[in-house]
Structure 1
Amino acid sequence: MQLKKLASTFIVLAGLVAGGNAAFAADPENTMIITLKDGDVTIALRPDLAPKHVAQIKALVREGAYDNVAFHRVIDGFMAQTGDVQFGDMNEGYDADRAGTGGSDKPDLPAEFTPEHYVRGTVGMARAQSPDSANSQFFIMFAPAPPLENQYTVVGNVESGMELVDKIKKGDPAQNGVVSDPDRMIKVRIAADK
């Protein structure tokens, strides 16, 4: 038991050293790996905080729905948003004017707000005005954003590869971070699926 606890502590510390916000070490079933143009970003999903949101994300990952989806809104010093599987697939049906307005064929989710802090590396679910409108889109924080706490559902934390998230092409500040010719999630998988 003690060895398992030490191994878990090591994983958390390794994530912090790698530049992530790994206050939680996920098992392979709850580890999402996003391949970007510069390498892999590993995210510890948090079913302990948001079981419905994490289940939906994992289902979309396993369907391949997130592959080739654009980072359509990226605001330097704030966050990088992606996950619009309806209008953001850069290989099939990409619509630059509508990217960020769609979701998936799955139902919207009820909010699962927690007092979890939005810090560098936090992964949260994007939503429309209604708190119960999150579907497939998510964002990765570049920096802390306390105003988001208890307003958006936290679904995970970057364990490694945050330096790669920093390299995602930024959007136009005058256009609320909309990115022309955006970077994409090349491939997304759950670690347990190898």
Structure 2
Amino acid sequence: MRKDTLVAGCFFAVGLAVLGGYALSQSATPAMAQAVDGPGPNLVIEVAGEANGEVVIDLLPDLAPKHVAQITALAEAGNYDGVVFHRVIDGFMAQTGDVEFGKKAGDTSRAGMGGSDFPDIPAEFSKETFDRGVVGMARSQSPDSANSQFFIMFAPGPFLDEQYTVVGRVISGMDVVDKIKRGAGGNGEVVDPDQMATVTVVK
């Protein structure tokens, strides 16, 4: 996995261009319709740092069964505990989930380059749009390279639709997501980032 796992190459450039004329023109915390809690499972994240509190994500196995199974397995094994939000771009998204290089207790200088001991997952693209609060899987240039990293949208990003796998929606705690420490520069790398202190699964 590369440092630019979310939107590699031209997608990242196009994304920032679109943000300039779309997402960043929205308010910092645009309104979001209350997402409905589906059959789950739910991913419960305790965020610590500048942001503190609980974020609950309703995972969507009907859209992305292989991705949801992998996220669930990693969470149940405790692999996401202590992983930082290594890339956070205001008006766009907060990215986390690098269980290999993203542990707060270690050296996070390579956060964003790693994955997990599990194999990469084939793409499970859907018609679901990347609205505020939607959770997607990060990947490198190959559509089939998602592994453990995921991102939460601060604002709508329709330019990601059918390019990245949607795995869930935030059903509570977007106020916490909105407070996650932002990164600096175009790539959004964060100095002294916030972390997912604990991540659990509720079925």
- Structure 2: segments with no counterpart, 5+ residues: 1-30
Q: Pick the structure with greater CA Rg.
A: 1
Counterpart residue number, 1:161: 173
Describe the SS at the equivalent of 1:25.
coil
Q: Aligned-residue CA RMSD in angstroms? A: 1.4
Among 46, 55, 63, the residue aligned to 1:49: 63
**Counterpart contact for 1:115–1:149, Cα < 8 Å:** yes
- Structure 1: segments with no counterpart, 5+ residues: 1-18
Matches within 5 A, 1:135-174: 135-174=147-186
Question: How many angstroms does 1:21 deviate by?
Answer: 5.3
Tell me the matched-pair count: 170
Matches within 5 A, 1:35-184: 35-37=46-48, 38-91=52-105, 93-96=106-109, 98-174=110-186, 176-184=187-195
Counterpart residue number, 1:15: none
The TM-score, its normalising length taken from structure 2, stands at 0.80
The TM-score, its normalising length taken from structure 1, stands at 0.84
Question: How many angstroms does 1:94 deviate by?
Answer: 3.0
Partners of 1:21 and 1:86 lie apart in 2 by: 34
Q: Please, which moves more after superposition, 34-43 or 149-158?
A: 34-43
Question: How many angstroms does 1:55 deviate by?
Answer: 0.1
Q: Over residues 115-173 of structure 1, what are the superposed CA-to-partner deviations in whole Å (9 max), with x where a residue is unaligned?
A: 10101000000000000000000000000001100000000000000010000000002
Question: How many angstroms does 1:191 deviate by?
Answer: 1.8
**Counterpart contact for 1:46–1:156, Cα < 8 Å:** yes
Structure 1 residue runs of 4+, over 4 Å off? 19-24
